[in-house]
Amino acid sequence: MTGLPVWICDRLALFAAPRKSLWSRAVRCGRIGPEVPMTDQIHDPIAAAFALQAAGTVARRTGFGLAERKAALIRLREVLGRRQPEIVAALAADFGKPETETLLTEILPVRQDIALALRRMRRWMRPRRVAPTVATLGTSARIRPEPRGVCLIVAPWNYPLNLALGPLVSCLAAGNSAIIKPSEMTPATSALIAAIVAEAFSPDLVTVIEGGVEVSQALLALPFDHIFFTGSPEVGKVVMAAAARHLTSVTLELGGKSPTVIGPGADVAQAAAWVAFGKFANAGQTCIAPDHVYVHHDVREAFLQALRARIAKAYGDGASPHLARVVNDRHAGRLRALLADARDKGARIVLGGDGEGTRLAPTLVEAVTPEMRLDQEEIFGPVLPVIAYDDLDAVIARINARPKPLALYVFDKDRGFADRIIGATSSGGVGVNLTLLHYSHHGLPFGGVNNSGIGAAHGEFGFRAFSHERAVLENRFSALTMVFPPYTGRVRGLVRMALRLLG
């Protein structure tokens, strides 16, 4: 790294060695592949890419203003438009995602992010005035949103374009640079993201680094100013532990077993349509997909009948061109193992359960019990347990007994029914008589709570996630000098008076 500033070289040297123990935990839980030893050939280009962006941090504070940020987002929008057919082809190659689903769930959200940022960025960037308190009368207060610096965006495989470039829009709107690490499990899309970024940006502003676990290790060993990670809770803990070494701030969008509750007053046709869409879009490989459904006994049969009909209309069998594939053989094998375990322990597969290779038909399972893996693990595939209930309090207790989910869905015509569940539980977000759609409302914060995530994204919330909100207090005619030392009798009297009046 000859020619780099000395302070950057010193900083990199401190953090070059990976922490293998952190990654070994994720390896043991099966979320990532076996650990690969670090090599100079892998590490040097990564360190150099980081150093290039770090060297421009100070200049970006004053030289990457509103006009430059807008220009960057417009370039990204233009490249996305030109390469839209390639995006559709890449996602079809990686896991058979239908073109319409790619347009709806991968390209449209990013373009919405860009459009919103272009409209609102000026207001987001403007310092916010804050009224003085009684103790600070005579001062002027404001909050300045400032760039954090060099950011790392670690994207998952399930929505590889959306969840790489969506956070990038917020990152650039806030004035930062970014290194993007796409998932190696979707290689065609990963390579295309690298090409899109290379066409739209210079590497001192945005660059993509592809690779597997060893690349992630090298990146997490560096002192980024912010890390935005989307993935499983298990790997999220690894990322957070690595970030703690540098006291790096994090946004973690994770997952969990998001429950759905169908009440006795639900419109079962509406509920079936939304549950089928939320569960089987992207073959169930969605972090906010309904993981399991609690359905009241009074409407169980009607709901199952409506759900079967909706699945037949939307997807036919497991070879439907409207249904994406499971991402790879390992994940398909994991899903089949979950079904086999449930079947062996007494569960009933009432629809689906078949398919070859990475094709798995939409599957409904009843008689699921707590000792089954299907009830314990995040499913993340086109398999939906349907659990009948009579006692809503028991359902609420089961929801609260699990880690807090990323989403919770309630279906019932009675608003009080939904409010009762919302008030008694905790989750990242809630959908009432719908699924997934809250992700698309950029006026709402999107994020989890505890096990399902830390921080929020989208719209202004994403801008703030990538910003440091700096407090500035300016003296105009503060009277606080009246109580400066020495603490004479007059000063002590003024302080006692302030305590009586203000305290």
Closest CA to 361 of 334, 382, 385, 339: 382
Confirm if 223 and 248 have CB atoms less than 8 A apart: yes
Which residues are the active-site residues?
253, 287
Contacts of 181 by beta carbon, 8 Å cutoff, 6+ apart: 152, 153, 154, 155, 208, 209, 210, 211, 215, 216, 219
The amino acid at 233: P
Report the SS3 class of residue 409.
strand
SS3 percent helix, strand, coil of the chain, rounded to 5, is 50, 15, 35
The Cα-based distances of 311 to 323, 350, 384 in angstroms read 11, 13, 12
Are 35 and 27 spatial neighbours (Cβ–Cβ below 8 Å)?
yes
Q: Characterize 465-496 residue by residue with b for buried, 16 or more Cβ atoms within 10 angstroms of its Cβ, and e for exposed.
A: bbbeeeeeeeeeeeeeeeeeeeeeeeeeeeee
Q: Which of 302, 12, 252 is nearest to 150 (CA)?
A: 12
Q: How far apart are CA 397 and CA 389, in angstroms?
A: 12
Q: Which of 126, 155, 130, 150 is nearest to 140 (CA)?
A: 130
Contact call for residues 294 and 329 (beta carbons, < 8 A): no
Closest CA to 360 of 293, 283, 288, 286: 283
Scan for tokens 């719908």, then name that residue: 434
- What is the rounded distance in angstroms from the CA atom of residue 204 to the CA atom of residue 477? 44
**Residue 170: strand pairing partners:** none
What amino acid occupies position 438? H
Token reading at 40: 């100079």
Q: Is the peptide bond before 486 cis (omega within 30 degrees of 0)?
A: yes
Q: What is the DSSP letter of 263?
A: -
What H or E segment, with its residue span, contains residue 410? strand 407-411
Burial 93-120 (b: 16+ CB within 10 A, else e): ebbbbbeebbeebbbebbbbbbebbbee
What region does 175 belong to: left with phi over 0, alpha with psi -120 to 50, or beta?
A: left
30 CB neighbour count, 10 Å cutoff: 11
